[in-house]
Amino acid sequence: MSIFGAAIRGFGATLGSPRLVIGLWLVNLVVALPVAGLMGASIGSAVGGSVVDENLRDGFDMYWFGEYREEARGIETSFTPTLTGAGAFYNNLEAWSNGRLFSEYLPLVGVGILYGLLWSFLMGGVLDRFARPSESAVRARFAQASGIYFFRFLRLALISAVLYFLIFWLHRWMFDWLESLTRDMTREWSVLWSSLSVYLLTAFLLTLVHMSFGYAKIATVVENRRVMLLAALRGLGFVLSFPGKTFGLYYGLVAVGAIMLALYSVVAPGAGQSHFVTIFLAFLVGQLFLIAKLIMRLTLYGAQTNLFKALASR
């Protein structure tokens, strides 16, 4: 099976499951609402009816933000000016890629762990739907598959967490070593390329782990594997056996997602919304992008499942 064929099948399977897309979007919304409510109440209390209220209608008030950050606690510390529009996605990507997410946004890590546990439960039903498209798509089957694979996927998540920790530790060690190596270097381009090499290596290792454990989950569902360490090795072996197709499919869909994010960056409303209609439209545009992002995520799962089923027996 070609990369393009797997992507088309994955996209078709996703569009053919509208209830799945809507259901997962509602799950995301339900998880986000309590956090958004706490953040909104905190900001509302900090702004009140003061002159800051008027200033924020015209643009972001950095003086007020500085005072807010000094008193911020818990989830409040995650509030930054980049949360509006596409900035939130870029900020999260940067924090994830360099490991800063785990050192500066610990309250969000807690929410992320709960969200990850929920997705580990739902992934069983999602992958079962893509692996066995001929079976009837009913809620009972989805819930049953989710329950069957939840603890297996949880064990996979614990194994992958160790690997992610080692990658971020290696990332920091390489930058500390690079800083000592280039401290007296006067050629800026040499320093830039050295730093870029560290980022590219980190991105490659993160991609390898993410793909390997994605295929490990698929192998668990398709081949009914129970020993998760062997499933992880199966996923890694599949990626290394077909590097052109697995990396090509992954990075191809990542490129499509990057284009979507670039378009959203252009059309996304900024923070200067002060009327109900414009606030609602900003919310609507953001939710449409999140649905498109979810469709791309499910497309990746569906495409990888089709690719695994086509090539695993070779």
Q: How far is residue 175 from each of residues 100, 194, 263, measured CA to CA in Å?
A: 13, 9, 33
pLDDT of residue 119: 87
Residue 190's pLDDT is 67
pLDDT class for 1, splitting at 50, 70, 90?
A: confident
Q: What percent of the chain has pLDDT over 70?
A: 71
Cα 226 to chain centroid distance, Å, stands at: 26
pTM of the predicted model as reported, rounded to 2 decimal places = 0.79
74 sits in the region (left: phi over 0; alpha: psi -120 to 50; else beta) called: left
Residue 86, pLDDT > 70, answer: no
- How many Cα atoms occupy the beta-carbon half-sphere of 144 within 13 Å? 7
End-to-end CA distance of the chain: 12
Tokens linked to 301: 């799962």
Name the average pLDDT for the chain. 80
Which pLDDT score, from 0 to 100, does residue 57 have? Answer: 61
Lowest-pLDDT range, 15-19, 274-278, 295-299? 274-278
